[in-house]
Amino acid sequence: MYILECRLKEYQKVMKLVNGRNTKNGVYKRARAIALCMYQKESLNEISRKVQLSRRHIYKWIKRFNDYGIEGLKDTRGRKLRLVR
């Protein structure tokens, strides 16, 4: 399973996450893996070694990116913050 066809704007957003100074480490790794899958067409073994994620996780993030776009790469775990009045 690889990245479905991607528009230039999506690629630019992914690269903005990769190159961003304030990008969290987890999101950086996911975005970098997606970027490597998109245009460098490397094997998943090479990508997993470079970004230090298992192939299983890379498959998961590819699926999320294909389903939800750039929003699929963001952290979603943990409790949501509640507003207290």
DSSP per-residue string spanning the chain: --PPP--HHHHHHHHHHHH-TT--HHHHHHHHHHHIIIII---HHHHHHHHT--HHHHHHHHHHHHHHGGGGGS---SPPP----
Please check the confidence at residue 4 and state whether its pLDDT lies above 60: no
User: What distances in angstroms separate CA 25 from CA 36, 59, 81, one per listed residue?
Assistant: 16, 18, 21
- At residue 41, the 3 state secondary structure works out as coil
Please check the confidence at residue 82 and state whether its pLDDT lies above 70: no
Please give the pLDDT value at position 71: 87
Please give the pLDDT value at position 21: 83
Residues 24-79 pLDDT 10s: 888 888 888 888 888 766 788 898 899 899 999 988 888 888 888 888 888 777 66
Please give the pLDDT value at position 54: 92
Average pLDDT over residues 14-26: 83
Model pTM?
A: 0.74
